[in-house]
Structure 1
Amino acid sequence: MGMWELVVILIVGLVVLGPERLPVAIRTVSRWIRTVKSVANSVKAEVNEELRVHELHANLKKAEQQNMNDLAPELQESVDELKKAAESVRHSYQSDSTKQTSKKD
């Protein structure tokens, strides 16, 4: 929206709502806009993550079809990334089970 459109909206709001209720209405609308933006950003991040996981999964299938030999660099990179993720999960699981075992003693 341009500057003149905002001025027209402000004048109409001032006439309709009055000077007492206009600041409250502006705060409410700005809160709604912030909420909508945060929801949109979280959905966007989630979709991007799902696309990345799908791409990694497709690359892993290609690597399996090639029997993990003579992989293209992007396939090898995906396989390495998946191995690192699996190791981090395994380490966190092992440390959690170690903590639980030590709490029982």
Structure 2
Amino acid sequence: MFDISFWELCIIGVVALVILGPERLPGAIRSTVKTIRSMKSMASGFKTEVEEQLRVHELHENLKKAEKMGIDNVSPEVKQSVEELKQAALSVQEPYKKKKTDDPAE
């Protein structure tokens, strides 16, 4: 990621030790590592969300193709996409069906 050699890291460490002192240096290192981890986690979450949105968009496009061509005349991957969408729709509806049957007030 960064092009930093071992000796450059040593110089940064010595400068940090001189500026912060031996009492505050471990805490500064811990907070820096914690910040870097949170940024990596945030980037990973963003990447996952973008990939999921792209997958949903692709499924939506395949559904449009299936509607235009007719469900019987589509390729196997489009049929698979349609089936995935149906399963996703059913899984979204399941919690609401259970709530309606479990709720005695209705």
Settle same-fold status: TM greater than 0.5.
Answer: yes
Report how many aligned residue pairs link the two structures: 103
In structure 1, list runs of 5 or more residues that go unmatched: none
Determine the C-alpha separation between the residues in 1 that align with 2:60 and 2:29: 46
Task: Give the secondary structure class of the aligned counterpart of 2:93.
Answer: helix
Root-mean-square deviation over aligned CA pairs: 1.5
Aligned ranges for residues 1-105 of structure 1 at < 5 Å?
A: 1-100=4-103, 102=104, 104=105
Task: Give the secondary structure class of the aligned counterpart of 2:73.
Answer: coil
- 65-74 or 4-13, larger mean C-alpha shift: 4-13
Determine the C-alpha separation between the residues in 1 that align with 2:86 and 2:59: 11
Q: Structure 2 length normalisation: TM-score?
A: 0.88
- 30-39 or 84-93, larger mean C-alpha shift: 84-93
Determine the C-alpha separation between the residues in 2 that align with 1:3 and 1:57: 50
Q: Which runs of 4+ in 1 moved over 3 A?
A: none
Determine the C-alpha separation between the residues in 2 that align with 1:88 and 1:23: 48
Question: Identity over the aligned pairs, expressed in percent?
Answer: 50
In structure 2, list runs of 5 or more residues that go unmatched: none
- 71-80 or 1-10, larger mean C-alpha shift: 1-10
